[in-house]
């Protein structure tokens, strides 16, 4: 199988290569793709070196699968060009997520909806993935009515420039700023750009994507905060259901949900934290408790590595479903 990774030299691209190797994805030929300044560089994958190529070259090589992590503008321009030569694209940007003709996929929730006609498939926002995965079994049992989510998001969601800023601040070194303010010893209620309604794009992604993936009737309101953390995103989530719930059943449903690890024993200080989520593929859930201020309402805490399940792992899992269902060109013509 000929697999292109677009944005292979970036932070998420590197993790994608690692996840492809870890999960033994059937790559017979890797095509690492990056911007012109990286063309000609070498990328090591599974013990072999591959030369980075540009987008035009990659399209001409007609890969069976292209996993994109190169920004929305790149995806808007180039994903259709890959699709036109028969490549199936899994895109990690926000470019196609709300397109009504493109599927927005978390494999454990709606991967079964994929068909051979889906040539451009959208990977949800990192903070959305961990939220909807935890909501899924609860929504099926109790019907989620409204969600209030406050995020505590890793600087890795911004990229290398943000991690460099944090390191510079901690070392007392001057350097370029990824954020308008210091991030060390600080929290910025500012993820992505502000919109006319006063919310940021990140906050509205949580609202819109949850509706598209799970149920358009679910009301979601969000506050997204950037924190000086590397390991992953955390979310404090308040969920109002249509009906009452049993806490032991809630824990059982979450425990049995694929992709969820329950860490919920406050008597022994067991709860999810990004320091434990880093490098792992599961979504971790804990601090499960009834909201005593309102009927039919639950509080819980959700943590996940935003570069893995929030980006690279989810994209590779989508690709695995395409292989399993025989939806890629290589599989169809083998």
Residues marked as catalytic? 126, 233
DSSP, residue by residue, 269-281: TB---HHHHTT--
- 2's enclosing H/E stretch is strand 2-6
H runs (alpha helix) in 266-312: 274-277
- Sheet of 283-290: strand order equals 219-226, 144-153, 233-241, 297-304, 283-290, 260-262
- Cα separations (Å) of 257 from 114, 234, 245? 20, 19, 17
Cβ neighbors of 319 (< 8 A, separation 6 or more) are 3, 25, 65, 67, 90
- Cα separations (Å) of 42 from 8, 9, 19, 21? 10, 9, 18, 17
DSSP, residue by residue, 45-113: ETTEEEE-B-HHHHHHT--SEEEE-S-HHHHHHHHHHHHHTT-EEEE-SSSSTT-TTS-B--HHHHGGG
* Beta bridge partner(s), residue 121: 90
| Nearest residue to 153 (alpha-carbon basis) of 127, 115, 186 | 127
The two three-digit tokens of residue 33, written as one number: 């793709």
Q: Please state the φ and ψ torsions of residue 45, each to the nearest 5 degrees.
A: -140, 120
**Is residue 31 within 8 Å of residue 4, measured between CB atoms?**
yes
């Amino acid at each position: 199988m000929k697999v292109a990774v677009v944005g292979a030299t970036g932070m998420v691209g590197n993790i994608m290569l690692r996840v492809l190797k870890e999960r033994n994805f059937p790559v017979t030929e890797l095509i690492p793709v990056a911007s012109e300044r990286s063309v000609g560089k070498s990328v090591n994958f599974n013990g072999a070196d591959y030369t980075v190529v540009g987008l035009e070259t990659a399209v001409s090589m007609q890969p069976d699968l292209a996993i994109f992590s190169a920004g929305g503008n790149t995806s808007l321009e180039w994903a259709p060009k890959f699709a036109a030569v028969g490549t199936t694209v899994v895109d990690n940007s926000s470019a196609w997520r709300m397109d009504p003709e493109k599927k927005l996929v978390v494999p454990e929730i709606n991967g079964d909806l994929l068909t051979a006609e889906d040539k451009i498939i959208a990977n949800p926002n990192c903070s959305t993935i961990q939220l909807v995965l935890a909501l899924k079994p609860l929504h099926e049992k109790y019907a989620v009515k409204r969600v209030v989510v406050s995020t505590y998001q890793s600087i890795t969601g911004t990229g290398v420039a943000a991690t460099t800023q944090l390191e510079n601040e901690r070392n007392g070194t001057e350097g370029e700023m990824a954020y308008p303010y210091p991030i060390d010893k600080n929290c910025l209620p500012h993820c992505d750009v502000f919109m006319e309604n006063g919310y940021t794009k990140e906050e509205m992604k949580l609202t819109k994507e949850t509706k598209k993936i799970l149920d358009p009737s679910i009301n979601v309101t969000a506050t997204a905060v950037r924190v000086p953390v590397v390991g992953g995103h955390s979310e404090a989530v308040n969920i109002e259901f249509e009906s009452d719930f049993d806490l032991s059943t809630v824990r059982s449903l979450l425990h049995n949900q694929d992709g969820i690890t329950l860490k919920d024993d406050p008597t022994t200080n067991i709860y999810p934290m990004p320091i434990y989520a880093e490098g792992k593929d599961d979504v971790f859930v804990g601090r499960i408790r009834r909201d005593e201020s309102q009927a039919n309402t639950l509080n819980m805490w959700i943590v996940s590595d935003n570069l893995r399940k929030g980006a690279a792992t989810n994209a590779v899992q989508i690709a695995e479903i395409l292989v399993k269902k025989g939806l890629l060109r290589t599989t169809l013509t083998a």
